[in-house]
Amino acid sequence: MSNYLLEVEHLQKHFPIKGGGFGNKKVVQALDDLTFGIKKGETLGMVGESGCGKTTAGRTILRLHEPTGGKIIYDGETLFDKDNKIAVNMLPYRKKMQIVFQDPYASLDPRMTVGDIVGEPIDIHHLCSSKQERYDRIIGLLERVGLNSEHANRYPHEFSGGQRQRVGIARALAVNPEFIVCDEPISALDVSIQAQVINMFEDLQEQMGLTYLFIAHDLSVVKHISDRIVVMYLGRMVELADSYELTMHSMHPYTRSLVSAIPIADPVQARKSKRIILEGDVPSPIDPPSGCRFRTRCPYADERCAAEVPEFKEVTSGHYVACHHLDKVK
Amino acid sequence: MAENTKNEKILVDIQHERLSFFTPAGEVKALNDVSFKMKEGEVLGIVGESGSGKSVTAYSLMGLTAYPGRLIGGTIDFNGHRINDMTEAEFREIRGNEVSIIFQDPMTSLNPVYTVGNQIEEVIKLHTDKNKEEARARAIELLTLVGINEPEKRLKQYPHELSGGMRQRVMIAIALACEPKLLIADEPTTALDVTIQAQILELMMELREKLGMAIIMITHDLGIVASMCEKIAVMYAGRIVEYGTTDDIFYNPKHEYTKGLIKSIPRLDAKDHERLVPIEGTPVDMLNPPAGCPFAPRCDSCMKICLREMPPVTYFNDVHYTQCWLNQKAEAEAAAKAGKEEADE
Ligand SMILES: Nc1ncnc2c1ncn2[C@@H]1O[C@H](COP(=O)(O)OP(=O)(O)OP(=O)(O)O)[C@@H](O)[C@H]1O
Ligand SMILES: Nc1ncnc2c1ncn2[C@@H]1O[C@H](COP(=O)(O)OP(=O)(O)O)[C@@H](O)[C@H]1O
Ligand code: SF4
Ligand code: SF4
Ligand SMILES: [Mg+2]
Ligand SMILES: [Mg+2]
């Protein structure tokens, strides 16, 4: 038995392209070969540029998208295994595995009161037997995320972005989950409000023993909240390590440029630091480059990179990288 | 990074600007006594939360205040023009010529039904007496300047055929077509990925070296202002609550909001996990702003006087100033004493 709460192996999600011509079998290779484990109580951060498959990864793990291939194991139970044709009914797991979305404006039903938004999952899973119990539970949840009973009868448009995000979190917590996919939960918030919400995620984790997959494109935030970080590029993992190790001693050429590209909020340091500017844009996942998907922007790329997919392997203890030429990367 | 500019000529001089939006729900005092100056070639960053007045400040400089907004006080001088007195026709003369703007989402400012070439050449022809061939040549020159390969081919493409980063480069090319004195950049990289953001920021700084224009950089990202601006204006609820050099703001912040802002962001190089210190509370409701200091409801150091009266400006040197009672020593002490006496009663 492993000590992971969640494990995925070679998880894959390809989307067929609609409206393609006759016999057109093209697909969006949104996610390929995702393999990692998350320990109970751990936060695994996931970073990468837009379109690299973060949201797809989060949703596929929860089987909100049905995987195209691979395996998902949760708490020792196989939820999905393509090769062995296993695909269990997810309903019992919906209580344990939840998701918080990026956009606090779009993810809440504008016609429902905040109390009913938070209460809906309680109703779906028949978690309360009386009206009073339901009410108490809703108020308890609102208080847990820093809101109060007065807020229960109000509508989402009466709330600020940060407050709406709290409502989204209260809703996710309503079923007493163990594992939460947080998909860019603070990206839409003002800087001064982001810190409030980050602290709340940390407090809730401590109080409730939660396990997070924390997705964001802001590496500073991910580094702050995560125990380990996985870096994605065009649907594939390129590096995974302890969060300090990953930001301070990154090995993959993509991670290194990502780290160097972050503007440092310290003028003296910012003046000293050198950015590694990558050329060009991220290619399309419909027809990704052969071999290493990063090779079209990588300063170290050669023929081998075009011919062979680099293996994702452990280079030092707990530090995984997918690159043929780590010796060359300086 | 940007060193002190040798050129000391004042390009922008805003004094006591007041601007309100007269909405059905009431008057939104979007700008409340905003004053600052910019020298030619200077790079100013404006930071602050959503709704604090960053964009409104910059747009008013170009006569782009949207209905139902109205300038109701103060003076705006730009490059020898008294903006207050200008007509729409006069604004059209200077926009794109002396001052240009780039936005967060270049797709909204590019016209989807015209080619990139069409749009750049249009701007060139509007502001110069270049003919078609000359305009095309200049367009190719501009695309090359902003680092776009195969400019001839790009000119024939439509905006949707370009990536986000490429579109922002095109916007910059259009903005710089007439070598303006001032480029306003309103969150120009917010919609872009960090590696593309790094490309665009580097391009902007390179072009500023080459062309010597001043830049107003509007952003919520303290990292961006730290690395590219010389001066920073921190806005809160329609006021510049602190203004100073980049080093003043980061290493010697005087306003409680500025201090809070700097403390609340996670640092990439932190070795141990340090809990963030957030600014508690919610942003100001601009329809019903509090009396006194607008930051008072969220301020840990709030005193009685803060709830009653707007703090006056305190200058620390020629550049650095703030509006916070804590810096009005005499007043603050008196207020603290009075507060204590009241409490003792
Ligand atoms: N067309 C308008 N009608 C009514 N109010 C407006 C209008 N445009 C702006 N405002 C108000 O003016 C204030 C300042 O707005 P501004 O757009 O300058 O904010 P900002 O600092 O640029 O915010 P953001 O970071 O969200 O872009 C806000 O309270 C806003 O609601
Ligand atoms: N339902 C879908 N149908 C087709 N393509 C999709 C779908 N969802 C995502 N994609 C594509 O898959 C890729 C990864 O998307 P996503 O996981 O949303 O990226 P991220 O969250 O990292 O920004 C993108 O190219 C995106 O356009
Ligand atoms: S495998 Fe090759 S192309 Fe990919 S990151 Fe390594 S050196 Fe670059
Ligand atoms: S004036 Fe008072 S309330 Fe406002 S920032 Fe200063 S101490 Fe805080
Ligand atoms: Mg996403
Ligand atoms: Mg704005």
How far away, in angstroms, is B104 Cα from ligand 6 center? Answer: 9
Q: Which atom of ligand 1 is nearest to the CA of B66?
A: 1
The residue of chain B nearest to residue A259, with distances taken between CA atoms, is B268
| Interchain pair A195, B1: CB under 8 A | no
pLDDT digit string, tens, across residues A236-294: 999 999 999 999 999 999 999 999 999 999 999 998 888 888 888 888 889 999 999 99
Residue whose CB lies within 8 A of the most ligand 1 atoms, among B19, B21, B31, for a mutation test: B21
Residue A269 with chain B: CB contacts under 8 Å? 269
A198 to chain B, any CB pair closer than 8 A? The answer is yes
- Is residue A300 within 6 Å of ligand 2 at its C-beta? no
Output the CA B51–ligand 1 centroid distance in Å.
5
| A167 touches B: beta carbon within 8 Å | no
pLDDT for the residue numbered B2: 46
pLDDT, residue B74, reads: 97
Mean per-residue pLDDT for A200-211?
A: 94
d(CA B65, CA B94): 15
Residue B165 near ligand 1, beta carbon < 6 Å: no
Q: Encoding tokens for residue A6?
A: 């969640």
Give the pLDDT of residue B283. Answer: 83
Ligand 2 atom nearest to CA at A285: 25
Q: What is the pLDDT of residue B5?
A: 45
**Is A325 strand, coil or helix?**
coil
Query: Is A148 part of the contact surface with chain B (CB cutoff 8 Å)?
Result: no
In this predicted structure, what is the pLDDT of residue A132? 95
Reduced to 3 states (helix: H, G, I; strand: E, B; else coil), residue A97 is strand
Sign of CA dihedral A87, A42, B260, B308: positive
Chain Cα centroid distance, residue B142 = 25
CA separation, residue B212 to residues A87, B43, B209, B302 (Å): 63, 10, 6, 43
Q: Nearest to residue A9, comparing CAs of A30, A42, A33?
A: A33
Ligand 1 pocket test, candidate residues B54, B218, B284, most atoms within 8 A of CB: B54
- Taking residues A51-67, report their average pLDDT: 95
Mapping DSSP onto H, E and C, the string for B113-132 reads CCCHHHHHHHHHHHHCCCCH
Mean pLDDT of the residues in chain A: 92
How buried is residue B248: exposed, middle or buried, by Cβ count under 10 Å (0-12/13-18/19+)?
A: buried
**Predicted pLDDT of residue B6:** 54
> Are A192 and B278 an interchain contact pair (Cβ–Cβ within 8 Å)?
yes
pLDDT of A160 over the 90 cut = no
Give the per-residue pLDDT at A245: 96
pLDDT of residue B345: 46
| Contact across the interface for B264 and A194, Cβ inside 8 Å | yes
- Cβ of B326 below 6 Å from ligand 4: yes
- The predicted model gives A79-104 an average pLDDT of 93
- Protein residue whose Cα sits closest to atom 3 of ligand 4: B296
Give the residue carrying structure tokens 């125990």: A227
The alpha carbon of residue A130 is apart from the nearest alpha carbon of chain B, in Å, by 34
Q: For B71, what's the count of Cα atoms within 13 Å in the CB-facing half-sphere?
A: 23
Contacts of A262 in chain B (CB under 8 A): 194, 223, 268
Which residue in B227, B246, B264 is closest to A191 by CB distance?
B264
- Separation of CA A30 and ligand 2 centre (Å): 6
CB B254 within 8 A of CB B242: yes
Residues 6+ apart with CB under 8 A from B44: B36, B38, B214, B215, B216, B217, B229, B230, B231, B232, B233
Q: What ipTM was predicted for this assembly?
A: 0.86
Mean pLDDT of A37-56: 95
Structure confidence at residue A21 (pLDDT): 57
Chain B contacts in chain A segment 207-226 (CB below 8 A): 217, 219-221, 223-225
Instruction: Say if B287 is an interface residue toward chain A (CB within 8 Å).
Output: no
Pairwise CA distance, residues A279 & A297, whole Å: 6
Shortest alpha-carbon distance between residue B159 and chain A (Å):
16
* Interchain contact, B278 vs A196, CB within 8 Å: yes
* Closest-CA distance of chain A to residue B303, Å: 22
Residues, Cβ < 5 Å to ion ligand 5: A 55
- The CA–CA distances, whole Å, from A130 to A271, B206, B344 equal 62, 66, 51
Best residue in B49, B194, B224, B229 to probe A by mutation, most A CBs within 10 Å?
Answer: B194
Pocket lining: A298 vs ligand 3, CB cutoff 6 Å? yes
B279 touches chain A (CB under 8 A): yes
Looking at residue B335, what is its pLDDT?
63
- Which pLDDT value is given to residue B66? 86
Mean pLDDT across A212-234: 95
Preceding amide of A267 cis, omega within 30: no
Are A160 and B247 a contacting pair at CB < 8 A?
Answer: no
Contact B198, B192 (CB under 8 A): no
Q: How many CB pairs under 8 A join A and B?
A: 137
Which of B31, B49, B54, B56 to mutate for ligand 1's pocket (most ligand atoms within 8 Å of CB)? Answer: B56
Substitution target in A42, A43, A186, A191 with the highest count of B β-carbons within 10 Å is A191
Strand partners, B26: B23
CB of B126 within 8 Å of any CB in chain A?
no
Pull the structure tokens for residue A168. Answer: 């989204």
Per-residue pLDDT of chain B (345 residues; tens, 9 = 90+): 444 445 589 999 999 999 999 988 889 999 999 999 999 999 999 999 888 999 999 999 999 998 899 999 999 999 999 999 899 999 999 998 999 999 887 777 889 999 999 999 999 998 888 999 999 999 999 999 898 888 999 999 999 988 888 899 999 999 999 899 999 999 999 888 888 899 899 999 999 999 999 999 999 899 999 999 999 999 999 999 999 999 999 999 999 999 999 999 998 888 888 899 999 888 888 888 899 999 999 999 999 999 999 999 999 999 999 999 999 876 667 666 666 655 554
